[in-house]
Amino acid sequence: MSTSTTPARTDKAGTRLTLPIAGLAFVIALAVQLIGQAKIDVGIGAIVIFPMVWGLILGLLVSVQKFKPLGLDLQRVAAALVGVAVLLLVARLAFNIGPSLPTLLKAGPALLLQEVGHLLGTIALALPLAVLLRMGKATVGATFSLDREPSFAMVSEKYGPDSDQYRGVLAMYVFGTLFGAVYITLLTSLISNWRIFDPLALAMGAGVGSGSMMAASSASIIAAYPGDQEAILGMAAISNLITTILGVYVGIYLALPLADRFYRVLTRRQTREEAAVPAGAPAQRADTELRGTGTGEGGTDAAREAAREAAQVEENRRFRERVAASSAAMHLPLWLSLSVLTVLGIGTASIAAKGFSLTIVAGYAIMLALVLVSIALAKLTKKISAIVYITTIGAYISSPWFFGAAALNGPIKSVDFLSIATVMLTLAGLSLGKDIPLLKNIGWKIIPVGLLAVTASFLLSTVIAEFALGLWH
């Protein structure tokens, strides 16, 4: 197709693009909030499906339907709104950290130790499976972490953006985007209802480094342990923040080198077998030359191998460009994003509370103020992200050590955190249609590897936290 027929990509959006997607999200989010949650018995336990999961699924169906296709720019607007919704979710969770600080401080050693599960669990279990499935060098990129955005730079710098390792990162990123929140909801719901783990250990396991996955996982834990909601949310938020911050340094200096070394150890036999073919080529070539046939076969084999490598590099480059086009950022005015999310949030929170209340509006006003102050501080310092400021300031002003904590905590608690997660995942669903075509590029092997990676990160972290807390029953 001629490039002249390709429409220019829009990187900025105003009300014309934002309001239609906001209207869709409003209808879907309110509908699924009214539907409520469903509990399904599966023999070995029970799985709770929350409104946010229904919102994600319905949003996805709307984004992929062909009757009235949802344009790429609209889907990118939805993705941009998700990024701002994460800040509001973190702001809401920060107000659970402050009241739970005594509990969090007691769990300090466990919080740090369980990070071993998050940061290395994927290598321990998912990497061997990827080797068994012969994913090649993409194994390293796909299994050294759960591969959210910070992983791109780590692997690109070490191996190059057109490498097989970088393709592995992209494949796991696409898998996590499409399936991560839904799968961890089902996994956590099942394990929580076994009631063999302490809820605080489960909450630590929920902090896998992804805001949407953490929210989905926390909801399942709270459904099993409703009396511990505040402590669960506080613990999950702190664990997620620690995983996000430590993940960069551990990824660069430990996880990625360890994954590379482990991969080499597990594939030594394959490497020797592959090396044996070129090693025998001269003898075969000499033998055929003596018979007067096959002259130059060694060179032909080398040329074929070089051509295969070049084709793979080119395919990796195309895949990278498709992912980049799919995930390209859309810039929205901050006032517009926050206005839309506030309307959506108040609507869903009112349904969750079974009635509109000015207290909910006050809760959103407090969260908006916290988000705006944190964004301003992040821009001022340029070294610390807004999420860190939101978490730190929110935890302090909601703690017993702040004189106005009681006045702030009341309105905030009227805002059900699940209602914010419902809005966030509904918007995420509306943004996923653009990612569906990437499924044919990542191959089926990433599905079992991805499922095991998420399971390993959550379960190994939970087990370590359980023993570290000394609460094994």
pLDDT tens digits along 235-272 = 898 888 888 777 777 888 888 999 999 999 999 876 65
Confidence band, pLDDT 50/70/90 cuts, at residue 360: very high
Identify which of 149, 181, 145 has the alpha carbon closest to the alpha carbon of residue 327. Answer: 149
Residue 293 has pLDDT above 50, yes or no: no
Identify which of 113, 212, 15, 153 has the alpha carbon closest to the alpha carbon of residue 465. Answer: 113
Please give the pLDDT value at position 455.
94
Distance, CA of 166 to CA of 144 (rounded, Å)? 11
75-120 pLDDT tens trace: 999 999 999 999 999 999 999 888 888 777 777 777 778 878 877 7
Please give the pLDDT value at position 9.
63
Residue 313 has pLDDT above 70, yes or no: yes
Average the pLDDT over each of 53-57, 301-305, 335-339 and give the range with the smallest value.
301-305
How many percent of the chain have pLDDT more than 90?
A: 45
- What's the angle, vertex CA 40, arms to CA 187 and CA 93, rounded to 5? 50
Size of the chain, expressed as the number of residues it contains: 473
The stretch 123-145 carries a mean pLDDT of: 91
Confidence band, pLDDT 50/70/90 cuts, at residue 286: very low
**Mean pLDDT score across all residues of the chain:** 84
Confidence band, pLDDT 50/70/90 cuts, at residue 283: very low
DSSP track, 109-147: HHHHHTHHHHHHHIIIIIHHHHHHTT-TTHHHHHHSS--
Please give the pLDDT value at position 243.
81
365-382 pLDDT tens trace: 999 999 999 999 999 988
7-57 pLDDT tens trace: 556 778 888 999 999 999 999 999 999 998 888 887 677 788 889 999 999
Identify which of 19, 25, 10 has the alpha carbon closest to the alpha carbon of residue 76. Answer: 10
The dihedral region occupied by 37, where left means phi > 0, alpha psi between -120 and 50, and beta the remainder, is beta
The stretch 309-327 carries a mean pLDDT of: 75
How many percent of the chain have pLDDT more than 70?
A: 89
